[in-house]
Structure 1
Amino acid sequence: MTTGKEREYIQQQFKERMNEDELLNCMRCGFCLPTCPTYIDSGFQESHSPRGRLAVMKAVVDGVIEPDEDVERSLNVCLGCRACEPVCPSGVNYGHLLEEARDIINQNKKHSLPVRTIRRAVFEGLFPYQNRMRLLTGLIGFYQRSGLQRMVRSSGMMKMFPESMSSMERVLPEVPTMKEMKNRPSYLPAKSTIKKRVAFFSGCLMDTMFMKTNDSTMKLLQLAGCEIVIPKEQACCGALHGHSGEKNAAKELAKRNIKAFEDLQIDYIITNAGGCGAFLMDYDHLLKDEPEWAERAKQFSLKLKDISSILVDLQFHKRNLSLQAQVITYQDSCHLKNVMKTSSEPRTLLKSIDHIEYREMKEADRCCGSAGIYNIVESEMSMKILDTKMESAKATEATTIVTANPGCLLQMKLGIEREGLTGKVRAVHIADLLLEAEQSSFNSI
């Protein structure tokens, strides 16, 4: 809860920092409403729509309302999926305004001691340090491999935790060992004629908990004719910080990444996580007010490319890819589609696989409710959104649900678990599926 003095200072910061021209661009036309999951699943509450949130931000700037708990709640319920941006006739950069507003509120209110402790541990003590991410993942690996997981599950101990946490525990991937996580490459040659020289953004969670997907991604790049540089100095992309009101920390991580990649003499920087890729692409906006970094950030952002996009560019979909007969559908990563503008490429790749039947999911580009840590901090709304998504997925009768972001992947696995479809339906990252199709084709020769 904010005090009167905190609200007064927050209001002043809204006047100074919010882009009023951008706020005024909103014509209140309502084109954004059908695209917004929280507007629909809140029972069509205007305060939980993009248009409504922009009106709230403008009202705070104008001094019409105070930045109280209702304002903060309206902003926090937003998924940040940015589905409103492509349909906006005025081109309002809603995501940038949302992040600025959240940062102003977060930096100028006094959190409770438990919240301060958790935020400091996560944002300052964990994600900026890859060695600590490895240690945490190593502990999860010990839990999975030592027999402790079986004991905890059989004892019913998980019932002591909230349902969202116990469900998430059941869908965690089998993580690599500490030795595997430490033994990471810094360069990989192409496995055919060199067509491109690329750098790979390995990420923090992707190179620990989802390391096998990173390995699949790099193998695909090699097969497609890419030599790969993987800078050791790279860091977390900063998306979690930027979306959670920790803008200064996000800026520091951005600067670390720009320095790590800028002198590599490469054609592209490749990502395989839609959320990371979108935030990396926004570095030019994040650092636009810092003269030393603005142009460097712009050049960095211009080199970003998703794995599916470069594979299509290099004609990977024309290889002899095959899988056992199955029905496949695709769940868009919000940020991959709405920010990186990558939507047709994953579908092109999936449809090129022999023996599979591709079925398009209804509203495949509607958010699944993961949104970073949203499914933990806003569990009720997240599960409503997930239930809607699973109805669409089940209607395709697909046995394989493909996505392109780790958060989406876990959320779809959670949906499969909630629907009682474990063992009948699987969720898989597109890089893992494509490598499976490549290897299946090779083995059948």
Structure 2
Amino acid sequence: MKTGKLQQSFQETIDYEEIMNCTRCGFCLPACPTYLQTGGNEASSPRGRIALMKAVADGRKAPDEEVEAQLNECLGCRACEPACPSGVNYGHLLEQARSVVQKHKKHSPGVKIVRKAVFDWMFMSHKRMQKMHTLRYWYEKTPAQQVMRKTKMLQLLPGEAALMERVLPKAAAPTAIKREKEFEPSPKKSVKRVAFFRGCLMSTMFSETNDSTRYLLKQAGCDIITPEKQECCGALHAHGGETEQAKLLAKKNIAAFEELEVDAIVSNAGGCGAGLKNYPFLLREEAGWVERAKAFSEKTVDICTLLASLDLPDMKSEDTLVTYQPSCHLENVMKEKGYVEELLRKVNGVKYVAMPEKEHCCGSAGIYNLVQPKMAMQILDKKMTDVKLTKASKLVTSNPGCLLQMKAGIEREGMHSEIEALHIVDFLAEAVRKGQDAPDTN
């Protein structure tokens, strides 16, 4: 990276006024997982990283490897934001800084190929995501998977990819991933008309959870519209410094949804929902898009927030102790907190037990466990200690990345016989079905 040009880009891109809002009070420190895991390293805290950004923007520090390393070490969980009395929007500063670094960084040929394959090709098209899912399906169905595992070839993959490969849900047959109907009426009295954001990984790797989502919405009296032209939310691009691709995806999604006459745009993944909510900031300098992005963002809501406001049929479960690992972006960015717990308490047979320090990130953070595996596993180990204290037999999450991370924790701890991790939507859908099958005792 050429220091002069990079420093100039910092000065031109970083919101200096937002940086100056940080009063260095330290309220963010106990909320930051990396600060805690490093034993109180100031540079690994939100205010420390903001200080580094300011030093670069002021010309007092070169944008060197230390700065880049700290930007990469940050989870982007944004737990510092609710803790900040000054209301510093740290997440926006982080994305700006990462965008500048990526714009000027010269990657090795291997990294460049991987980034282009992931950010420029695969996640830019829903059809390509479906093709990749088909490849994964045949990878599992042929001897390829067993060969890769037995020869330990997976160990050559970056980070904790080998561990993640073991906990991925079984790939559904390509023919089973049906194209969603553009309109699905509720079998009940219609109370709302909603649009469904299907997501890229959610509609392929977690297609059953999407089926459960539509089932719950219809059982709650929602007519559903699923526009075909929607694409990935762009959150991974924005977090990874690939801002231009994130903007392109945002514009495609806004155009796909904005003409629909709906009460809400529903997401079932905290990370995706936060990405959609971030569109006004992402497109803040795009002429003609700011108001459109605001209108889109204002209608975006998490599935559990919406369901908590509606009447679901009776829900039933076998006597079960359930705990919950929240999505950081659902609570810290979307500001939708407490609704999952509210729904769990409505399920007959469920006893909800809060996880200690549940507000702390699990270490997933998009692809963080692949690019920062050591820190991700340290955070996960601490999280699994908290999970054990609950003595729960079910652990629900509200984001696919969190779900895989918690499954990885269960795998690492050998706790398969003690606890099961699943998406809250799948848990609730099963509870509704059991409630309908339950005998009438009235």
Same fold (TM over 0.5): yes
AA matched with 1:282:
N
> Structure 1 pair 349/297, CA: closer, same or farther in 2 (3 Å)?
same
Shift of 1:158: 4.2
In the alignment, what sits opposite 2:209?
Answer: 213
Cα distance in 2, alignment partners of residues 372 and 163 from structure 1: 13
1:289 counterpart = 2:318: no
Cα distance in 1, alignment partners of residues 153 and 242 from structure 2: 34
What does residue range 46-195 of structure 1 map to in structure 2 within 5 Å? 46-154=42-150, 157-158=153-154, 164-195=160-191
Cα deviation digits, residues 311-338 of structure 1 (max 9, x gap): 011133xx32111112100001000000
In the alignment, what sits opposite 1:203?
Answer: 199
In the alignment, what sits opposite 2:340?
Answer: 346
1:418 counterpart = 2:412: yes
1:377 pairs, out of 371, 374, 379, with 371
In the alignment, what sits opposite 1:25?
Answer: 21
Cα distance in 2, alignment partners of residues 198 and 424 from structure 1: 38
AA matched with 1:149:
Q
Q: Runs ≥4 in structure 1, deviation > 4 angstroms?
A: 154-163
Cα deviation digits, residues 148-184 of structure 1 (max 9, x gap): 4345445555455567222111101012121222533
AA matched with 2:274:
A
Equivalent position SS for 2:351: strand
2:226 pairs, out of 221, 225, 230, with 230
Shift of 1:144: 2.0
In the alignment, what sits opposite 2:392?
Answer: 398
In the alignment, what sits opposite 1:302?
Answer: 298
Cα distance in 2, alignment partners of residues 306 and 358 from structure 1: 20
Cα deviation digits, residues 210-230 of structure 1 (max 9, x gap): 111011001000000000000
AA matched with 2:191:
K
Percent of pairs with identical residues:
50
1:256 pairs, out of 246, 252, 256, with 252
> Structure 1 pair 117/159, CA: closer, same or farther in 2 (3 Å)?
closer
TM-score (norm 1): 0.96
Shift of 1:191: 1.9
Equivalent position SS for 2:430: helix
Shift of 1:414: 0.2
Cα distance in 1, alignment partners of residues 91 and 153 from structure 2: 40
Cα distance in 2, alignment partners of residues 291 and 180 from structure 1: 41
Cα distance in 1, alignment partners of residues 109 and 436 from structure 2: 57
Cα distance in 1, alignment partners of residues 250 and 152 from structure 2: 43
Shift of 1:359: 0.6
- Structure 1, 422-431 or 227-236: larger mean CA deviation: 422-431
Cα distance in 1, alignment partners of residues 437 and 145 from structure 2: 35
Cα distance in 2, alignment partners of residues 113 and 201 from structure 1: 35
> Structure 1 pair 157/69, CA: closer, same or farther in 2 (3 Å)?
closer
CA contact (8 A) 2:158 2:371 kept: no
Equivalent position SS for 2:289: helix
Shift of 1:29: 0.3
Cα distance in 2, alignment partners of residues 436 and 146 from structure 1: 31
In the alignment, what sits opposite 1:315?
Answer: 311
Cα distance in 1, alignment partners of residues 109 and 158 from structure 2: 21
AA matched with 2:343:
L
Cα distance in 1, alignment partners of residues 143 and 343 from structure 2: 39
Shift of 1:87: 1.0
Cα deviation digits, residues 329-365 of structure 1 (max 9, x gap): 0001000000111121000001111112211000111
> Structure 1 pair 44/205, CA: closer, same or farther in 2 (3 Å)?
same
Aligned length: 439
TM-score (norm 2): 0.97
CA contact (8 A) 2:167 2:404 kept: yes
1:365 counterpart = 2:359: yes
CA contact (8 A) 2:159 2:371 kept: no
What value does the CA root-mean-square deviation take over the aligned residues? 1.3
